[in-house]
Amino acid sequence: MKQNLALFDLDNTLLAGDSDYSWSLFLIEQGLLDASSHRARNEQFYQDYKNGNLDIYKFLEFQLKPLSQHSVAFLDTLHLKFMQEVIRPMMTTKAQDLVNKHQAAGDLCLIITATNSFVTKPIAEAYGIEHLIGTDPEMIDGRYTGGVSGVPSFQAGKVTRINQWLADRQQQLSDFETSYFYSDSHNDLPLMKLVTNPVAVDADETLTEYAKAQHWPHISLR
Active site residues: 9, 11
Could you give the C-alpha distances from 196 to 62, 73, 106, in angstroms and in order?
A: 35, 41, 17
56-64 vs 35-51: helix crossing angle, rounded to 10? 150
| Separation between Cα atoms, residue 60 and residue 142, nearest integer Å | 19
Task: Assess contact for 218 and 202: CB atoms under 8 A.
Answer: no
Q: Give the gyration radius of the chain's Cα atoms.
A: 17
What strands lie across the sheet with 5-8, from one edge to the other?
143-149, 131-140, 108-116, 5-8, 179-183, 197-201, 218-219
Residue of 93, 217, 112, 220 whose CA lies nearest to 166? 112
Count other C-beta atoms under 10 Å from residue 52's C-beta. 13
Residue of 60, 51, 56, 53 whose CA lies nearest to 157? 56
| Separation between Cα atoms, residue 19 and residue 83, nearest integer Å | 10
